[in-house]
Amino acid sequence: MTAELVRGQNHPLPRTRLEIRVSAGSPVVAGATLGDEHGVVQGVERIAHPGSPRLPGLEVSSRAAAGHRLAVDLEALPTGVRRVTVLLALPVGLGGPATFGAAAAPFVAVTGLDGTEVASFTLTGLDAESAVSALELYRRHGVWKVRAVGQGYADGLAALLTDQGVPGAAELAAAVHEAVARGAARSLAPPPRAATAAGRVQRAEGTAEHPSAPAGPTRPATAPTAPTASADPAAPSGPIDYAHPRRRPAAVPPPPAAGPGQEARPVAGDAAGRSMDERLYNQIWGMFEDLARSAAAWRSAAEFAESRMGRELDRALSDPRDRISAAGDRARQEARAKRDELIARAREVFDRDLDRLAAEAAVVEPALPAAYAGWANPVWHAPGVAMDMPMALRIGDLHLPERTGLRIPLLVRLPMERGVWVDSGRTDSEAADLLGADGVRRLAVESAVTLAARLLAVYPPGEFSVHVVDPAGAAAPQLAPLVDAGVLAGPPAAGAAGVAAVLAHLTRHVDLMQMAVRAGAADSLPPDLDAAEHLLVINDFPHGFDDRAVTQLRYLADEGPSAGVHLLIVADRAEARAYGPVLDPLWRSLLRITPVADDHLADPWVGHAWTFEPAAVPPGSRVLEQVLAAVAAARRTVGR
């Protein structure tokens, strides 16, 4: 479990080799000091900063960026070190915010080398500070712990270093900012690329998944990152080597060289990873993080410009006599001109980021494998037989209102760690109003069918089974593609008896799988047990479910994923409220998506409301039938 800390709270560290990941809405300088048990730093040689990024057991980034990954090996620290303090500072002269109060609140997470979060801390409440002690790792009674600090300094990095007893703090702070200025290549550096989506962008109502958290958002994906420039495997080796001794990562193709004054052209698969699928996966989540943080910086800058204009007008017009004078008119014009200038400069940077991301998306989208690709991608029109389960599956697209044409694929990791709920109720979107309640219900079932078809197509033949429960038979027309292709484990179950039979079958499956795992006796499973992954599609829930059936379904939602049983529920949450709070834990355990465009997903970093659009089959296309026919043919071939 991840500990979400508040200021002053601590949490034990279960391991000594760690990463500290920093996410901010604008570029920040990240560093760390090595102190004794009282937090006193004995000299500049015990400070890691962009001018001196490597110390024994510690490595930081060599430039300002909107995201950082600091490497820490507590066992390799110099003798006498009892406290590692992570510090953040706003760079000087790079055109960004001058105080943390004018930027999105930074987010800091302590993770293991596999991306598993140990603890996280959002630095809220900062105002005029330009430097902050974010958190500290400290040793007490032989045990290492992490504490959320959040101590800000209005006088900047020099004051922070002075407070830790650093000799020559002012000179060192100036040297740090000078090193940052020399290494700055652009005003807004991109955040680190995500490496896994487990457990981040997901709130109770459904969150955009982010690596390492990922399914999320949601404090976002939340999320595992690939190496930054300072941690590139090709860079000179430092004191900490994260490479597996018997594994060599696949080479990442270098981007085409750019001409003088030109940015390098984007390349599909330029993120870290051992395979092209993994590199594309990491690249997509990196694009998602880039867009989230760039939009946060733009929105923060626009809000700051408005609030600054308000403060200037309050000061200039504090005397009522000035409000109707020529001086008052000039004050208004000057304040508005400054606001417009600030907004124009921020928008210029934001548009540049959007253009870069749009160019990257245009290159990445055609290169995606079927599991990551939209239905309109040609890769789906000649589907091959899947040999291995992919890392993730695309269930739709995400976009922000600043540029709706820039779409980021929403990927969920496979096997799915949580079920999916397709909301068949009326939403507040314009599309839902035009369709009406019946149209939304029809689209909800169609969304479930297309999602089931994608899962069947990307799993190797025979390694994924789909069960359907339709108590009243209301979704027969929408379920016809699955039924006609013969890819279901059995006919759609109807009535109370059908519901009970399917739930009993899958509950037995989960029970037996869990007992075999706990006993370490996988060979003792009964021969009639299908060891494949299972998807249970339920339409119009909770109609047709009695108390026993609801209890079994909650059990499958909680315990099923670890045993290979996953839920895909089509339901109207408003209608289910009549059943009382007994269903609330079930809803909270599912990822909510909608059959029409809806801005209900939130990322875990800055809380943007992302508009989700499902992966729908293009009107008039026969690609769904072609894909299901290919799945059925592959199954027949394997069964021979």
Q: What is the pLDDT of residues 144-175, one digit of tens each?
A: 999 999 999 999 999 999 988 888 899 999 99
CATH of span 3-183: 2.60.60.30
Looking at residues 193-213, what average pLDDT do you find?
A: 34
% helix, strand, coil for the chain, step of 5? 40, 20, 40
Specify the pLDDT at position 257: 52
Q: How confident is the model at residue 193 (pLDDT cuts 50, 70, 90)?
A: very low
Peptide bond into 415 cis (omega under 30): yes
Quick one: average pLDDT of 561-574?
Answer: 92
- φ, ψ for residue 437 (rounded to 5)? -60, -45
From the list 20, 201, 55, the residue with the least C-alpha distance to 593 is 201
Which residue reads 């959002």 in tokens? Answer: 122
> How confident is residue 571, by pLDDT bands cut at 50, 70 and 90?
very high
Q: What is the pLDDT of residue 632?
A: 93
Measured CA to CA, the distance from residue 216 to residue 190 in angstroms comes to: 18
Comparing CA positions, the residue from 460, 442, 402 lying closest to residue 634 is 460
Q: What is the pLDDT of residues 102-133, one digit of tens each?
A: 888 899 999 988 778 899 999 988 889 999 99
- What confidence score (pLDDT) does residue 321 get? 67
Is the pLDDT reported for residue 403 higher than 90? Answer: yes
Q: How far apart are CA 603 and CA 121, in angstroms?
A: 16
Mean pLDDT along residues 573-588: 79
C-beta of residue 458 within 8 angstroms of C-beta of residue 393: yes
Which superfamily does 420-589 belong to? P-loop containing nucleotide triphosphate hydrolases (3.40.50.300)
* Token reading at 409: 């694929």
pLDDT higher than 50, residue 24:
yes
Q: Where is 18: in which H helix or E strand?
A: strand 17-35
According to the model, what pLDDT value does residue 26 have? 84
Q: What is the pLDDT of residue 97?
A: 86
- Average pLDDT score over residue span 54-72: 89
pLDDT bucket at 527, cuts 50 / 70 / 90 = confident
Please classify residue 159 by burial: count the beta carbons closer than 10 Å to its beta carbon, then call 0-12 exposed, 13-18 middle and 19+ buried: middle
Q: Three-state DSSP class for 376? A: coil
Residue 370 has pLDDT above 70, yes or no: yes
Asked whether residue 402 carries a pLDDT value surpassing 90, the answer given is yes
Tell me, what's the pLDDT at 219? 29
Residue 381 near residue 623 (C-beta atoms within 8 A): yes
Q: What is the mean pLDDT of residues 459-482?
A: 94
* CA gap 171, 315 in Å, rounded: 36
Residue 247 has pLDDT above 50, yes or no: no
* 262-319 residue pLDDT tens: 566 788 888 887 788 888 999 998 899 889 888 988 988 888 888 888 888 887 777 7
Determine the Cα–Cα distance for residues 277 and 338; give it in Å rounded to an integer.
47
Supply the pLDDT for residue 383: 65
- Burial class of residue 141 (count of CB atoms within 10 Å of its CB; 0-12, 13-18, 19+): exposed
Whether 199 shows a pLDDT value over 70: the answer reads no
Burial of 13 (0-12, 13-18, 19+ CB in 10 A): buried
Could you tell me if 183 and 62 are in contact, meaning their C-beta atoms sit under 8 angstroms apart? yes
**Extents of the domains making up the chain:** 3-183, 192-225+275-418+615-640, 420-589
What is the predicted pLDDT for the residue at 236? 33
In angstroms, rounded to a whole number, what is the distance separating the alpha carbons of residues 321 and 318? Answer: 9
Taking all residues of the chain, what is their mean pLDDT, rounded to a whole number?
82
The H-or-E segment that residue 478 falls in is helix 476-485
Cβ neighbours of residue 559 under 8 Å, at least 6 residues apart? 510, 514
**Residue-wise pLDDT tens digits, 601-614:** 887 667 789 999 99
Length of the chain: 640
Radius of gyration of the chain (CA): 27
Average pLDDT rounded to a whole number, residues 136-145: 86
Residue 195 has pLDDT above 70, yes or no: no
State the average pLDDT over residues 567-596.
Answer: 85
pLDDT at res. 264: 66
Which residues does 5 contact at the CB level (< 8 Å), separation at least 6?
A: 11, 119, 120, 121, 135, 146, 147, 148
Q: Which of 119, 169, 171 is nearest to 147 (CA)?
A: 119
For residues 394 and 10, what is the distance between their CA atoms, to the nearest angstrom? 38
Please check the confidence at residue 475 and state whether its pLDDT lies above 50.
yes
pLDDT number for residue 259: 53
Report residue 218's pLDDT band, with 50, 70 and 90 as the boundaries: very low
Placement of tokens 């700055």 in the chain: 184
CB atoms < 10 A from the CB of 125, how many? 12
State the residue for tokens 């800058």. 301
